[in-house]
A and B are shown apart, each in its own frame.
Chain A
């Protein structure tokens, strides 16, 4: 049984985990950098240990210091949250070797799923549909060109070690292929030190649909329905909702079954997410599996009533899943908006500052996960996520209204945020109609650039 957890993270997710632990009677140890001594997670936890200087690589990424802190404070488990060390296979292994429970899958599973080419091979073997692609790294430009010709254009070139859009290129014509391939490879080499590339068909007008998975140590795996995360800007999600609009019950059942199959094939334990692309013809393809709690886990919690962080802890402490697949009920519709400290007018540059005035909305069906408080000084070193505003109700229209009203009530003074931009997105008719693809945000931005009045009149 876990009685004390060290939270190797910061910000709202650290706060979220501390709260879950507290409700379970588990004592908490926060770690913080020198810049985070006054952060909410540092103050909220039962104990707090400062583990280094402000830059993440001097503190939140220092494995040996986090392990020392865990051992010194007598914690018996480490929750990595998301980001930082959450998907670091070596850290998971080190925890185990030090006799600490890593709240998440084993290092071996993280390793397998973190390497995109290896993950893909695993899924092909399990019979989970994947985007037509190179089945592993491509050896040469020549091989890549002939594969691209075979799949038909457009195709997308990706770095095996990549992420965040780097080392990635969409190629629409045979003639452009070689140059794009070489530049993407060079980019990957400089960004990740690994020029291994792979190639797949580019699914156009795709929607990003992901399934929440829970698996216990005994091999039971269930899914908790899907989330639609198609509202993204450069692969950064902005709005997530569950269930995905326009996905039939039948399709959900099939995709859910495949998501479970994927997780089982990987030997997955704990909470994870299987990501699919869904095209306009309702065909879906596995893209990757995230081996951590997701930022947007809250929307699933709101429609299923299952506390994912608590489930993670229960699974990690060896308990069998208490829920069977047929017990999972998705009721109503939940939606989340990410509020970031960034300026949409200046290409979304991060904008640190001090929170001078703060009003957090509430009321029926509203949930706000945040680490902000009045007077909090947002340090410039970390992620710009400030708050996740969520709404839940019996149907999608009402949820959008609730969420938009909540955003209208949210006041964060002293910091530039994307609040107004999100307010505008929520009011868009196409979004209201449901089923937008991943190109939606870009097109909204294009339009408001073309017609500034549209933007202004919307306020």
Chain B
């Protein structure tokens, strides 16, 4: 190192004594010299990194280094969410209560008032988000840790009551250590008081969104925080009933990393969605718009606008006619190509070979190659037929290239806000649900989701829902019912998950509840089976006003493998079983199980015909998605004008007839 060889400034310039004098003077001066003024920088409590306060503020009060969310005071929160100058505060200046005459309590409150400029641990009022009016409350962690005493409970209750009266939605940013100890049982009663006000608000058909911020614990979690129609949370927020320290002391165990974080709660089904601060305003706006009661979405206009002009040259058959057309069976000569068969070019879905001869007999399906099987033991038809046989369809329906529900959701809708969880146990990846927007109109979408590859399938459980999946579906259907949103279901499952944990949590009960509750939904419900429609697991999302199958989709009492092993104790006879079970779209239409078939091959692939042999793939899905959209819009146009009783009654009759 040259460092020690170089002569430094004091040696070059000054005598040693002078240097010492300078050093002493400097030490004296240092106290009054340069220093960082308060608030110029802020240290992140999570990563320890120091950042410029300006950067933090312009970046939504998030640590630029590690992404940690800083707690923010109510007025900052309001400015991030509401339109500028739109906030009007409600119920200020309520007299402070001290029901227990708790020593030192009034002084403590007074001190917090002076220090924070807030009159209590919550601000309530109303404002607008892009001109959508809403009641809004924000709790303040800097005011006695946002604890809930009488005034906090009172302000929240008054806000909710006023919102009910004025028919306003409520958005409440929760942030609290829980009930305020200094007010004893009066604090506990606030939990009941707020909850019952929210119940009445909900019964009036109004939206309540709670946003859980760091920390949301104790009596607040156990009351209004967990009662949102939609519960949003901020990343990393501590959310729980009993605080982590209390739990550790009680059970004498160290809690795992991330326990009671917002992410933990989402995984366990209690939070609909973790929203980035930068996206929060837009997300809330979307929710407000999607829950506007009493609006007329005018689906017929959208149907006319989006579909008719594009398809003007092609006659789109009325779906209701299709089923009728089945009744005078057969008579149609075998067509030249399989594609023609499924294009619904006529009003009559033709049968390629033998007339469908009722429900029994293997003849109907195996007849596709012209042979009639005697006892079902004959081999199924060879591949490479003009029209795929049942077993081939099963293979196509299970194909990994086939678009999944999310592929269709992305291509059918303008926007989709996924909502998670069953509010009881977990968020099931096998069912995706949420609110979708189509040209300013909103529907609830619930879909069974398969994965691509091992990693994704671990999350999606190969599209086999568990009870929590069905309970999530049910929760979202009821939410749709409350806000008058039509429900669109996509079915694609080998069947409900069959496993120990599924039985433990009541798989049967979960499916039964879906059938039970769906029958009473006063909004139109449409189901499209896009791949496999496996048994009760599929039916739980198909007690609908209308059910469609994609051309190569299947819908069955059981998988052909399962069927073969039950009936013949031989799983290998699945191919034969498929031929007999009547599980293809055409057969199901004949049976009157479904209301229509959506072709997977369009005029664009005429000649090439690839979709006929392989079915639709993610690369060739555009036409198929378009046809689903046409059906969906036509459905919504027809049902959109009906009242809830009619919709319910039609659905009842649809299933009553079997």
Contacts and interface: CB of A to CB of B under 8 A. Distances in A.
A71 B34 contact: yes
A65 B49 CA distance: 10
A43 B52 contact: no
A206 interface: no
B37 A98 contact: yes
B467 to A, nearest CB: 48
A41 to B, nearest CB: 11
B34 A25 contact: no
Nearest to A77: B34
A75 B29 CA distance: 11
B35 A94 contact: no
A63 interface: yes
A98 B35 contact: yes
Contact of A44 (B6, B10, B33): B6
A71 B36 contact: yes
Contacts of A63: 52
B13 interface: yes
B10 A46 contact: yes
Interface residues of A, number: 31
Interface string B1-37: 1110010111011100000001000110010011111
A68 B6 contact: no
Interface string A93-117: 0100111100000000000000000
A90 B55 CA distance: 11
A70 interface: yes
B13 A25 contact: yes
A76 B14 CA distance: 19
A313 B30 CA distance: 20
A450 B496 CA distance: 74
Interface in A63-79: 63-65, 67-68, 70-71, 74-76
B341 to A, nearest CB: 49
Interface in A30-65: 38, 40, 42-44, 46, 63-65
Given A27-B10, A43-B6, A74 B30 contact: yes
Contact of A22 (B2, B9, B30, B52): B9
Contact of B41 (A21, A64, A74): A64
Interface in B33-63: 33-37, 40-41, 50-52, 54
A26 interface: yes
A99 B34 contact: yes
A452 B454 CA distance: 58
Interface string B516-527: 000000000000
B35 A43 contact: no
Nearest to B41: A64
Interface string A14-32: 0000000110011110000
A27 B50 contact: no
Contacts of B12: 22, 25
Contacts of B30: 74
Interface in A246-285: none
Contacts of A90: 52, 54
B52 A97 contact: no
Contacts of A76: 33-34
A85 B192 CA distance: 58
A71 B32 CA distance: 11
B2 A3 contact: no
B34 A100 contact: yes
A373 interface: yes
A94 B40 contact: yes
A338 B26 CA distance: 39
Nearest to A74: B30
B10 A43 contact: no
A97 B40 CA distance: 8
Nearest to A75: B34
Contact of A74 (B26, B40, B50, B54): B26
B501 to A, nearest CB: 46
Given A63-B52, A71-B35, A38 B40 contact: no
A286 B8 CA distance: 43
Contacts of A22: 8-9, 12-13
A4 interface: yes
Interface string A400-414: 000000000000000
B44 to A, nearest CB: 12
Contact of A3 (B3, B26, B50, B52): B26
Nearest to B40: A97
A67 B36 contact: yes
Contacts of A98: 34-37, 40
A67 B37 CA distance: 11
B18 to A, nearest CB: 10
A28 B1 contact: no
B552 to A, nearest CB: 43
A26 B36 contact: no
Nearest to B36: A98
B563 to A, nearest CB: 57
A98 B34 CA distance: 6
A61 to B, nearest CB: 12
Given A3-B26, A74-B26, A46 B34 contact: no
A38 B14 contact: no
A46 B26 contact: no
Contacts of A28: 9
Contacts of A46: 8-10
B191 to A, nearest CB: 44
Nearest to B26: A74
Contacts of A38: 1
B30 to A, nearest CB: 5
A22 B14 CA distance: 11
Interface string A356-393: 00000000000000000100000000000000000000
Interface string B329-365: 0000000000000000000000000000000000000
9 contacts: A3-B22, A4-B26, A22-B8, A27-B9, A65-B50, A74-B30, A74-B33, A90-B54, A99-B34
Interface of B: 1-3, 6, 8-10, 12-14, 22, 26-27, 30, 33-37, 40-41, 50-52, 54
Given A71-B34, A99-B35, 9 more contacts: A4-B26, A43-B6, A44-B3, A46-B9, A63-B52, A75-B34, A97-B40, A99-B33, A373-B2
The 9 A-B residue pairs with the shortest CB-CB distance in the complex, in nearest-first order: A25-B13, A43-B3, A99-B34, A64-B50, A46-B8, A27-B9, A100-B34, A22-B9, A74-B30
